[in-house]
């Protein structure tokens, strides 16, 4: 089974383009679910602790740990 992770950045209003910020980006990755639940979760948790020192409530951790 696969897991799909998507993230967006920028202005999502495609009907009225903001000339000061006319950027919208959608990125994604498809991973094997066993990898996402195992090794990737462990690495993401280590990265989160290094950056946020345990003060950040990760959405990733809520879904895959």
Give residue-wise pLDDT tens across range 4-56: 999 999 888 878 888 888 888 999 999 999 988 888 888 888 888 888 775 65
Looking at the domain assignment, is residue 20 inside a domain?
A: no
Looking at the domain assignment, is residue 24 inside a domain?
A: no
Evaluate whether 30 touches 2 at the Cβ level (below 8 Å): yes
As a dihedral over the C-alpha atoms of residue 53, residue 50, residue 2, residue 11, rounded to 10 degrees, the angle is 80
Closest CA relative to residue 26, chosen from 12, 40, 14, 36: 12
Task: Retrieve residue 25's tokens.
Answer: 């980006």
Looking at the domain assignment, is residue 22 inside a domain?
A: no
pLDDT at 36: 87
Domain holding 48, by residue range, is 1-10+32-65
Looking at the domain assignment, is residue 21 inside a domain?
A: no
Looking at the domain assignment, is residue 36 inside a domain?
A: yes
Looking at the domain assignment, is residue 19 inside a domain?
A: no
pLDDT at 60: 53
pLDDT at 28: 96
Structural domain tally of the chain? 1
36 exposed, middle or buried (CB, 10 Å; 0-12, 13-18, 19+)? buried
Looking at the domain assignment, is residue 62 inside a domain?
A: yes
pLDDT at 26: 93
Looking at the domain assignment, is residue 16 inside a domain?
A: no
């Amino acid at each position: 089974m696969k897991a799909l992770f998507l993230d967006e950045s920028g202005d999502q209003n495609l009907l009225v383009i903001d000339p000061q910020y006319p950027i919208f980006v959608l990125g994604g990755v498809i991973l094997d679910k066993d990898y996402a639940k195992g090794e990737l979760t462990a690495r993401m948790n280590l990265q989160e602790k290094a950056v946020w020192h345990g003060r950040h409530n990760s959405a990733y951790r809520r879904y895959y740990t």
